[in-house]
Every structure is written in C-alpha cells, then in structure tokens.
Structure 1
Amino acid sequence: MTGRHSLEFFAATSGPARPGTAQPLMAEPTGLEPTSVVVIGGGIAGLVTAWEVARAGRAVTLFEATSSVGGCIARHRVADLDLDAGAESFAIATRAVLDLIDDLGLSSRVVSPNPAGAWVRHARGSAPLPTDSLLGIPAHPLAGDVRRVLGPIGATRAALDLLLPRRVGGTAATLGGMVTRRMGRTVVKRLVEPVAGGVYSTDPDELELDSAQPALRAAVSRTGSLATAVRRLRATSARPGSAVAGLTGGLYTLVEALRADLERLGGLVLTDTAVRAAAQAADGWRVLVGDDQVGADDVVLAVPGADISRILALVDVDVPPTAAVTNTVRLVTLVVEHPALDAHPRGTGILVSRHASGVAAKALTHATAKWAWLAQAAGPGRHVLRLSYGRGDDDLPSDLVGTALRDASVLLGVDLDRSHLIDSDVIGWTSALPRPQPGHRAAMATLKGQIAQQPGLHLTGSMVDGTGLAAVITGARTAATRLLSVTTQADGPRPADR
C-alpha cells in the first residue's frame, strides 16, 4: 500500500472527528507498537514533554521528521570545533531553564558571558548597548550609556515617560506602539528595533506586545512608567548581572543530555519519521506514520502551526492563520584569524537596526569574545563569528559567506576577506521561529481551548507558549503536568497499559 493510499484509507476509516467523540479506525495498528503517549515533534518542547512523561513512568514515543532532535538548539562542526548551530544562550529572568539544567545534572556547566556586553548599530553609528534594559527599553533613560545612543534630545524625550500618566500606551497592541507613546521613536529606532529584530526577526511595530513580554503591560500599569516597569522586571531575574547565560561546551549539550535521559527512562525517540495524521479512535488515538499506525492514549503536538493543520485534518480543530506566520533565518558561522579581533572591538557582538546602511546582517555575535570556554577551545588567534540574516520581510543574499565577511568588516571595524577565513558554514532555520503579530495571543488561546475539548490531545511549543527557551520549557512542563493530571484522575487502566 503506498503512502498516498494509506492516508486515504486512514481518512476513510476514521470519519470526521467531533469533540469528545471516538471515531473508528483500523482494528489494530500495524508495524508499530502501541504506546501510552505519542509526542509529535522533537524540538525542545517535544523533548521536555516526553522526558517529563517518561519520568512519571508512562510509556512514550517521540516522532521527529528531521534527522536530529532539538529544533533550534543544535550543533555543527566548523574548523574542527563543535559549535552551536542555533541558540547559544538562554535568558535567566526566570529559573525555567536553570531548573531543567539542575534536574539534568548540568549545573556545574552554567557560565556567564563576557560582561563587556554587546553593541548596537543604528542609522547614526554604533555604541555599546545600555546594560540596564529589557528588549532595548532603557531602565534609566538619562544614564550615560543611554544618552550615548539616543543623544540628549532622544534621552530627554525618553525620560518624559516618568512624568506621563500611566494610561499612556496602555492600549498599544505592539511593542513598538507602547515604547513610541511612552519614550518616543528614537528609542524604538536605535534600541528596541535592533534588539527585537535580533530576538524575533521582526519589526517591533508588528510585534504583539503581550506575546513579546506578557508581563510588561501590567507592570507599566502598576508602576506608572515604562522605565520603572523594566527595572522591576529585571529585578526579578533569577541571577544578578547579565540577563543571559550559557553552557560550557555549547547549549546543544542540553539537548543531548535531555535525549540521553529520556531514552534511559525508556522513552523511544524516532528521527527521520514524519507523522502524517492523527485521529480519535474507540480506545484513544491513532497516529499515521508512513504506512503504519500507532495507537496511543494521549497525543502531544509540539510542531509548527502549518504542521498542526495537516496532522489534525481529521479532527474538529480550526488552526488560525496566525499560527503559520513564521520567519526564515540564516545563520552564517565564520572561523577567522585576524590579530585585530583579539581586542574584541565590539564586545560580545553587535545588534543591527534595519535603518543602518551598508549591512545586511541583523546581528553579529563574536562568540569567542562572548564565551571564555570557546576562546580556549578555538586557540590563540582564532575567532568564531556568527552572523544572522532574515527579518521576515527581506530577501536573503545569495552569497551569504561573502556577505558575512563584508558585514563583519563593517560591524567590527576590521578588514576581513577570504584570506582570513579558516572555515565557514551556513545553517537555515525555516518555520521554526513564530512571528507573533497583533491578535496572535488571543488566537492561540482560542486554539488551546479547542485542543482542550479533544480528550487526550495536547499542544505545546513556541507557537503557543512564546519565543525563548524559558517560555518553551515552561509551556512544555505545564503541558506534561496537565496530561499526567488527567491520567491520574481517569477511572480504570489506560488502554495502552492493559
């Protein structure tokens, strides 16, 4: 039976699902053993959910369509160095990531970056990024490092935030709208826009405020100003000092430890295995994998929005269009040798405003300046530079390595060409980064409500839980807790455990 006919048979035998109604499928799954829980998607959300389920003693099978798990946390080898191919640090405003690291026994490997910090490049030049800020929003608008970026007029306008009525900006839908009304456009163009572009690959005027920073609106309402709200939110950070941390050896080691412990607990991880559809059955769920089906009591979706629509084509769930709005990002890694880079001319890197001319990159990380362990691994004179491209609405250059060398020269003030290049690699991330526009949060709440009406169906991931490792881990652990709570309350044995 071909895959196409298998899918048609699956659909024909299932019929349209209705909330709370089991639909008939094939009498027995073929080829794959039934399991208690199926997790679809092997990114960090899927891995954490599966791991929590396995820790609770449930049988779990995780399906990942690509050749590796971890999603945007991955590794690649460049110039004989094992490097992060995606995310290389995590926010420490909450303990979400640190708690997971503790649970996996990796606490001794947590490291802080070089305190020199990053720079920002805008239309008028480059300057160190103010240290006391949140998404570029300054906590102290008249501080010297803020005035250096904004200029005296821009800084004075930003400081008016402290005098404005607390209701100003309270109804703003976007991050850019809130900051503009309270601190002015100069703050948006020179600070918030390059930071938001680096984190979310989108313009702050299109970025939904409540998705980017869910606590910010309420904090402004409580404190009366945006600057004070930023100070309060930063004061709750899990660790003082830098707002981020990393792991010695690379953040990808977190994924490797997570998978290893999941498998130690009996969890089954199948890569290069795409799930084609899922539907309710008389005794739980059936999941179509290739030409086979696997039975399960619970199904967890931890995939991009476009995949959810396809997988749940037989289920009474309407996936909103905003779920499929994602970004394409390219990360160029350069390993170069140039003595001028030993001085770390732009600290740990530089965030680039879209209004800055002559540069296509949206950010550059001087990784060997940022992480002491990596500088030691690279050896004297060798430097690792990471440049990212793609803001959601622009075309990517065809020769990314050549473009990255030119951009690095401009951003770092050091002439770099192919004679300085030891090795390079280009990694593409497609449909992995949601772009939350106004209305996204409400649409995701509606989607989660529909999913909750389907017994045994669960949803997690950055699309619904928010961008950033902390938000994704929190969402995954919450999804696992709910799944296990429903199981505990159910009467009688679970079908897959009989």
Structure 2
Amino acid sequence: MTESSSPTSYDVLVVGSDVAALMAALDCARIGLRVVLLATPPAEHRPAVFSHRAGIVASLLTELNIPFSIRERVTVKGHESRSTAGAATGSIVGIPANPFALNVREVLGWRGAWRVYLDRLIPLLTIGTETNLGHIVRRRLGKRAERLLVDPVLQALYGLSAEEIPVATVVPGLNQAMTRAGCLTTGIIDLIVADPRVAQVVEVAGGVGHIETVLRERLAFFSARIIDVADVHLTLIEDGENRPTAFGASAFAPSGPITVVTQAALLPAGEALAAQSPANERVAVVGISEQFPGLESAVPESRSASASIRRVLLSDPTRLPLGPLGHEG
C-alpha cells in the first residue's frame, strides 16, 4: 500500500516504538480516539528481564495476558572466565545486602567480599546528597564490585552502567535508606524488607520484542494506524494569531513519505517540540528515557501522560463522548 503524501487527520500522534510509548498509545486507542503511531527504530538494548519493583511490570504483563516468571537474581554471561555472574541473592541492581553471600564470594572472591564488608565500617561522609549510583558503589563497595556485581545487572536491565544512572531512577529511596541504616549494604536490607519485590526481576520469554509485538496487535485491533518510519519531523500548527491549534508530522516510511495532522501529541523525551511547548496541554512526553530507563518507571509515567491528554481531548465540548477513560495512571 502506498502512503498518501496529503495530510491525514487523527486525534493523537504518538512517536516512539518502546513498550511505554506503545502502552500510552493503546490507552488512547481503546477508548475510541483516532491514534497514529509513528514507530521509530527500536533501541539497541533489548532486555529479556525487568525490575519487579512495586510489581509494575508484572501488572502490565498480566493486563496484556503475557506469561512471565519471577526470579530472585539476574544472571549474565562472561565475566572473568566464569560461565555466569550476576546479582547476589538478596540484592538490588547487583548491590548485595550480605557482603559474604555465596554469590558475592563466587564472583569477587574472599578479598573482594571483605572489601564489600568495609561498607559496614566506613562512615557516611555525605548523607542523602549523592545522586550518581556509580559514585556510591565505588566509594562504598569498591571498583571491583561495581564492575563485576552492579554493572552487569544494570546492563541486563537497562543497557547502562552505574556511572550513567542517577540513583533515584533505579533505586528510589536508597539515599534515605543509607542515612537511616548508616551504610549501603544495610540500606539495601532496609529497602528489601520494605518491599521484597525490589530485589526480584521479571523474565519474559521473547523479551521486550514479544511485549512490543503483543502491543502492536492490540493497537491494530483498536484501529490505530502504525507506520514504521526512519525519521520524524514535527511542527506546531498555529492560527492567524499565533495560537497553537494542532500538530503536524512528516516522515519517511518504507512505502514513501507520509504527512499527518493531529490534535494532540505524545512525544519522546528530548524531542524539540515537546521542549518548546511545556505549557501546551495537548503535548506530553512518553517512552523510555534517561530519567525513566526501565519499564517500571517509564510505563507509569507514560500512561499518566496519556491520561492527561485523554482528559483534555474528551473535555472538548465539540467532541462526542467516547466512553470511559480507562486507565488513569
């Protein structure tokens, strides 16, 4: 089928291809809004395991009727001639609660385990102020623990290293737990006691690709238009008094150039139009980003953004009621 180059009108434009963006699009499509998804090329990182923090990913998979399993640790391949290495049982993103746990000793050896134990003896020099996870892990547990325990798990979950991740994005409450407990490893214990799911992971056969396939099928069922594109150019359409009235998007699809016009837009973080229109109630940010690198954080944020867009569109007195708003984030 050849895409038309003349503009086609929709209610909501969604740009992106990750699970969070697809779920935001689905929440709009299933209440009757006309949705067009411009699916950009997927990210290189394609995880098969996800954080079980707060049960968010498991709840999403249950909603989508996708089978999954809960595991106590992440296992990754190829570290220092070992067949596998990874998070110790009773750990969060590879940071162990017990410095002398068997998994810690297997990966780090006794010398490395004793270095981790020093965390219990070294006083906290900064309380609740450190934002970089890599800095915390190196200072408290040592470089070897960062490289062999923490980084492999973060790479498996998020495709990032500890140095690249702010603490609050992957271990919310860690600084406060460290302040209460007096060190990193006992802070981890504090968080696990509060919610054991934070130390577990969700595994899906087929990984993130299978989830995306299911979401695309659901979107097609609700008549959303999905167009795989290589690049997207967005514009803000204004009236004669320079007031924003709609959004325009042009892109190149395999079948040729396409152009669409929509009443609202759900855009990826960093998209210039989203940054230029922070006060526009018909534009919101969705998808995985540096601030929300995992499904456990990106999906709730994206669904909340989608809900705000739906409320704005459905409160328009010129629009007929379409039904219940569904999930409200």
Same fold (TM over 0.5): yes
CA RMSD, aligned part only?
Answer: 3.5
Instruction: State the alpha-carbon separation in 2 of the partners of residues 161 and 116 from structure 1.
Output: 22
Give the corresponding residue for 2:294: 468
1:132 aligns to 2:90 (yes or no): yes
d(CA) in 1 for partners of 2:24, 2:309: 10
Question: What is the CA-CA distance between 1:165 and the residue it aligns to?
Answer: 4.1
Aligned match for 1:256, one of 198, 205, 213: 213
The CA distance in 2 between the partners of 1:43 and 1:116, in whole Å, is 24
Letter matched to residue 171 of structure 2: Q
Distance 1:273 1:184 in 2: 43
2:18 is matched with which residue?
Answer: 43
Partner-residue secondary structure (3-state), 2:289 = helix
Tell me how far apart the structure 1 counterparts of residues 27 and 174 of structure 2 sit (CA, whole Å): 30
Tell me the secondary structure at the aligned position of residue 280 of structure 2: coil
How far apart are the structure 2 equivalents of 1:57 and 1:477? Answer: 16
SS in structure 2 of the partner of residue 37 of structure 1? strand
Quote how far apart the aligned CAs of 1:202 are. Answer: 4.9
Letter in 2 for 1:58: L
Contact 2:85 2:148 in 1 (8 A): no
Using the alignment, how far apart are the partners of 1:195 and 1:451 within structure 2?
36
Counterpart pick for 2:50 among 90, 104, 111: 90
Contact 1:237 1:243 in 2 (8 A): no
Secondary structure at 1:87 match in 2: coil
Partner of 2:189: 231
AA at the equivalent of 1:87: P
SS of 2:299 mapped into structure 1:
helix
Could you tell me which of 232, 249, 260 is aligned with 1:294?
Answer: 260
Following superposition, the deviation at residue 124 of structure 1 comes to 8.8
* Amino acid aligned to 2:286: T
The answer to whether structure 1 residue 265 and structure 2 residue 265 are counterparts is: no
- SS for the counterpart of 2:136 is helix
Matches within 5 A, 1:114-193: 118=75, 128-129=85-86, 130-168=88-126, 170-193=128-151
Contact residue 47 and residue 156 of structure 2 kept, 8 A: no
Q: State yes or no: 1:101 paired with 2:101.
A: no
Instruction: Give secondary structure in 2 for the equivalent of 1:177.
Output: helix
Partner of 2:242: none
- 1:299-314 paired onto structure 2 within 5 Å: 299-302=265-268, 305=270, 308-309=271-272, 312=273
Q: Secondary structure at the match of 2:98?
A: coil
SS of the aligned residue for 1:140 comes to: coil
Whole-Å separation in 2 of the counterparts to 1:51 and 1:494: 20
> Which secondary structure state, in structure 2, belongs to the residue aligned with residue 298 of structure 1?
strand
Select the residue among 289, 296, 304 that pairs with 1:478. 304
SS at match of 2:48: coil
Separation in 2 of the partners of 1:239 and 1:47?
25
The 3 A distance-change label for structure 1 pair 455 and 144 is closer
Whichever of the two has the greater Rg, that structure is 1
Whichever residue aligns with residue 224 of structure 1, its letter is G
- In 2, distance between residues paired with 1:280 and 1:206? 37
Seen in structure 2, the aligned counterparts of structure 1 residues 238 and 40 have a Cα distance that, compared at 3 Å, is farther
SS, match of residue 270 in structure 1: strand
Residues 254, 152 of structure 1: CA spacing in aligned structure 2 closer, same or farther, 3 A cutoff?
Answer: closer
**Partner residue of 1:279?**
236
1:353-364 correspondence to structure 2 within 5 Å: none
| Structure 1 pair 193–266 and aligned structure 2 pair: CA distance change class (3 A) | closer
1:18 aligned residue: none
Work out the CA distance in 2 between the residues paired with 1:165 and 1:205: 22
Q: Does the Cα contact within 8 Å between 1:94 and 1:236 map onto a contact in 2? A: no
Aligned to 1:326: none
Amino acid at match of 2:107: V
Cα distance in 1 for residues equivalent to 2:197 and 2:65: 18
Distance, in Å, in 1 between the alignment partners of 2:195 and 2:109 is: 29
State the aligned residue count.
Answer: 308
Separation (CA, whole Å) in 2 of partners of 1:126 and 1:30: 53
Inter-CA distance 245–56: structure 2 relative to 1 (3 Å threshold): same
Alpha-carbon distance, 1:89 to partner: 2.4
For residue 492 of structure 1, what is the amino acid of its counterpart?
A: P
1:40 to partner: Cα distance: 1.5
Aligned pair in 2 of structure 1 residues 193, 103: CA closer, same or farther (>3 Å)? closer
Instruction: Determine if the alignment matches structure 1 residue 487 to structure 2 residue 309.
Output: no
Q: 2: CA distance between counterparts of 1:147 and 1:169?
A: 29
Q: Name the aligned partner's letter for residue 26 of structure 2.
A: W
2:41 corresponds to 1:215: no
| CA–CA distance in structure 2, aligned partners of residues 116 and 458 of structure 1 | 35
The two structures have a TM-score, normalised by structure 1, of 0.53
- The answer to whether the Cα contact below 8 Å between 1:110 and 1:245 also exists between their aligned partners in 2 is yes
Residue of structure 2 equivalent to 1:195: 153
Question: Secondary structure at the residue paired with 2:262?
Answer: strand
Offset, 1:148: 3.6
Q: Distance in 2 between matches of 1:252 and 1:212?
A: 22
* TM-score normalised by L of structure 2: 0.77
Give me the whole-angstrom Cα distance separating, in 2, the residues matched to 1:236 and 1:479.
28
Which protein has greater RCO, CA pairs closer than 8 Å, 6+ apart? 2
Residue 341 of structure 1 aligns with which residue?
A: none
Structure 1, unaligned runs of 5 or more: 1-28, 74-84, 318-449
Distance in 1, Cα, partners of 2:109 & 2:165: 26
